[in-house]
Amino acid sequence: MRAVILAAGMGTRLSPLTDKCPKCLVPVGDKPLVNYQVEALRAAGVDDIVLVIGYEAAQIHSHFGTTVRYIENVDYLTTNSIYSLHLASAEMDADTFLFNCDILFHPEILQRMLQAAHANVVAIDSQVEWVAGEMNVILDERAQVSAISKALDPQACQSQSAQLVKFDAAGACAVRDEVARLIQLEQKQTYPTSAYTPLIEAGLLYAVEVGDLPWTEVDSLEDHEKAVQQVLPRLVQAL
């Protein structure tokens, strides 16, 4: 089992916290955001961790040393996370967790994904209010995903993605191939979710409910305050 964490962007919405610090190393409580992810992965038995880095890459190298592997996106200023994933395409040949570096989550979420009945799953929260512009999800009564996008009409959705995904080797390869196709079409500003289309169309992507567990995206100063004041205390209390 492998994990690919996308951590190349500048995190401008978290300024001034990210003025001289990469987003993944922004403190949440007493440790950097990405440490929570790495610790959760290792607790789940995942030791092969790949970070796709860009902005302030040297700080991340210094922080983790040789305990993780690195891929560098030198074009982080002009590309989106799908291009970072494209650079990691050689890693998408095994069972793989895929996340952005800005998700704070309870480790039990990974266990639920590993124990799910289906091989390719995305963590979802049906208990939050899904609003326009978030990564919303449409799924059926069997939890089969039919759409996942920030462009979806919230009225048509049933949940919000927690932006944590697990693929088996075949699913990871399908996503890798679709990423390559999108990059060839110069779609470097889209999101990795655009590459889930082959799995969705084949009926192979399912949702795992995690709304009862603490998690949040940390993409803005408001998100960071929520993470520190609301989510972290629940996470610490539950551990």
Residue 203 · residue 147 · CB < 8 Å: no
Structural domains present in the chain: 2-238 (3.90.550.10)
Q: Measure the CA–CA gap between 104 and 117, rounded to whole angstroms.
A: 24
- Per-residue pLDDT tens for 15-34? 999 999 999 999 999 999 99
Cα torsion angle, 12, 13, 14, 16, sign: positive
Q: Measure the CA–CA gap between 88 and 179, rounded to whole angstroms.
A: 10
Q: Kindly report the pTM of this predicted structure.
A: 0.95
Query: What are the mean pLDDT values of the chain's consecutive 10-residue runs (239 residues total)?
Result: 96 96 96 96 96 98 98 94 95 96 96 97 93 92 95 93 97 97 87 95 97 95 96 82
User: If we measure between CA atoms, which residue out of 67, 57, 65, 58 comes closest to residue 8?
Assistant: 57
**Residues contacting residue 230 through CB under 8 Å, at least 6 positions apart:** 216
